[in-house]
Amino acid sequence: MLEAIGARSVEELFAAIPPAIRLERELELPGGMPEQDVYAHLRELAERNTSAEDEISFLGAGMYDHYVPALIDMLLGRSEFLTPYTPYQPEISQGGLQAMFEYQTAISELTGLPVANASVYDGPSAVAAACYLAHLANGRSRVVVSRAVHPQSRETLRTLSHGYGTQVVEVPLRNGRTDPDTWEEAIDGDVAAVVFQQPNFLGAVEDAAALAAAAKRSGAVVVGSYDPIPMGILASPGECGVDVAVGEGQTLGNRLDFGGPSFGFFAATEAHLRRMPGRIAGETRDVDGRRGFVLTLQTREQHIRREKATSNICTAQALNALAGVVYLGWLGRAGLVELGELLLQRTAYLRDSLAALDGVSLLHEQPVVRELAVELDVDGTAGVRRVIGRCQDAGINPGYPLGADYEEHPTGLLVAITEQRTRKHIDRLAAVLAEAISAEQAGCGTREEAHA
């Protein structure tokens, strides 16, 4: 091979790679094992993990333990969906293209926006892509983002914005929601996009219409990052004046497997149709007048044109998006509303139950739908982690330590609800959490944070 390409050695072949990022040694790979020994070894490794099915989980923060109906596994396991490549050849890809088209239709109906693409990789990359779309649309150099947007989305936005020279300005919170005064002050004629989350990372329902209206006056693109499940009972992005609605699609029929995979949804007004990342499936008629589907408004080459492309999306997340549309079809319009109302009621019961405990106080009193933030009367984030560890020893995962991302809330705990958490589970959480806080306050032993 070296001779064929004109290289004298492997070192010369990789000379363009900077020395600082080269390994310069052999990989530390163990010796081979018989198949049955490999299986036993992997079983042993798997037993070290605790899944959402091994404990009663109130962990959320963007990924949730929703029930996934058997119908989804059955359909996603079919080879025509599981194994195909990107449907660039419509004559042999009508099933896949129609699935994409139906998915886009469902997302448009859910968001109240006229166009949607056939998904992107995940929620954080969807937020970053939406702000790049805004930069392309108006050429401005600043993005205003609420501190209540998911920390990983903000981090992804900062990373991508650095590449195309856009400054990210973060707006602080007031009483658990985006500070409206600081938000309005930060928006001027140089702002390409504004980003808020609904409900926000602390579980609070934002005044989306007011946040959008403040940005509209400057001509900035309004980006809303939405949890799709609460959209069944909240005003849609389209109703609130949002230009681009994005979000994490894991809650729509996707499991908590290995931290993913999942998909990001992306919908927008027609003004941004040709700048949207990813693929768009369109409906058409063939020469005989028969209904058909094609990839439309974008060429294949635009996804591989490096910095000139709006996206590098290919096949990776289409199967997860299919799970999303199957899940929405399984629920139906009435089912989505019913699910949202169920979460609302159980979250209200959860909030009352936790607020009644000694050593627990509400971090804010804003309206919530499926997730809420509390503060524990313990010593900082380390104390919260020890409380979480004690709860896990009792078979309960009580939530996410906010101090990991918000230094202003070192004793905060984010607690989430899905339809799989019953009143009995909530009562169990309250009892276990009260005992764990009491033990922490009394200094009854310690627990390794790594285990927590």
Nearest Cα to Cα of residue 243 among 224, 264, 218 = 224
Mean pLDDT of 421-426: 98
The predicted pLDDT at position 356 comes to 97
* Closest to 433 in 3D by CA, of 415, 417, 407: 415
Distance CA 282, CA 318 (A): 16
Please name the fold of domain 70-327: Aspartate Aminotransferase; domain 2 (3.40.640)
Residue 111 pLDDT greater than 60, yes or no: yes
What is the full DSSP assignment across 21-66? G---S---PPPP--HHHHHHHHHHHHTT---TTSSEE---TT----
Provide the whole-model pTM. Answer: 0.89
pLDDT at 322 over 80: yes
Contact (CB, 8 A) for 159 and 129? no
Cβ contacts of 160 within 8 Å, gap of 6 or more: 128, 129, 131, 132
Q: Record the tokens describing residue 117, joined without a space.
A: 């693409």
Please state the rounded mean pLDDT for residues 368-380. 97
Mean per-residue pLDDT, 225-250: 97
pLDDT of residue 318: 87
CATH topology of domain 56-67+334-442: Aspartate Aminotransferase, domain 1 (3.90.1150)
The model's pLDDT over 304-315, given as tens digits with 9 standing for 90+, comes to 666 667 766 655
- pLDDT tens by residue, 154-172: 999 999 999 889 999 999 9
Give 446: exposed, middle or buried? Use CB within 10 Å, 0-12, 13-18, 19+: exposed
Same fold for the pair 56-67+334-442 and 70-327: no
Write down the pLDDT at residue 313: 60
| pLDDT score, position 127 | 97
Region class of 387: left (phi > 0), else alpha (psi between -120 and 50), else beta: alpha
What is the average per-residue pLDDT within 267-271? Answer: 96
What's the mean pLDDT in 420-430?
A: 98
Q: How confident is the model at residue 449 (pLDDT cuts 50, 70, 90)?
A: very low
Segment 387-399, tens digit of pLDDT:
999 999 999 999 9
Where is pLDDT greater, at 130 or 299? 130
Please, which residues have CB within 8 angstroms of residue 139's CB and are 6 or more apart in sequence?
192
H helices present in 306-416, as ranges: 318-355, 380-393
Least confident of 135-139, 241-245, 260-264, 292-296: 260-264
> What is the rounded distance in angstroms from the CA atom of residue 415 to the CA atom of residue 347?
9
Q: Is the pLDDT of residue 180 over 90?
A: yes
Tell me the pLDDT tens digit for each residue of 185-209. 999 999 999 999 999 999 999 999 9
The DSSP code for 204 is B
DSSP 217-268: TTTPEEEEEE-TTGGGTSPPTTTTT-SEEEEE-TTTT---STT----EEEEE
412-416 and 400-401 strand pairing? antiparallel
Q: What is the DSSP string of 82-122?
A: HSPPP---GGG-HHHHHHHHHHHHHHHHHHT-SEE-S-BS-
Identify the pLDDT of residue 200. Answer: 98
- pLDDT for position 34: 96
Whether the CB-CB separation of 318 and 100 falls below 8 Å is answered with yes
Domain ranges for the chain: 56-67+334-442, 70-327
pLDDT exceeds 80 at position 101: yes
Proportion of the chain above pLDDT 70, given as a percent: 94
Rounded CA-CA distance 348/369 in Å is 8
- 102 has pLDDT over 70: yes
Place of tokens 């290995």: 258
Question: Could you give the CA distance from residue 5 to residue 39 in angstroms, rounded to a whole number?
Answer: 41
How open is the CA angle 297-298-299, to the nearest 5 degrees? 135
Evaluate whether 262 touches 320 at the Cβ level (below 8 Å).
yes
Q: Identify the H or E element spanning 283.
A: strand 281-285
Average pLDDT, the chain: 92
pLDDT category at 51 given cuts 50, 70, 90 is: confident
Between 78 and 301, residue with greater pLDDT: 78
Region at 262 (left for phi over 0; alpha for psi -120 to 50; beta for the rest): beta
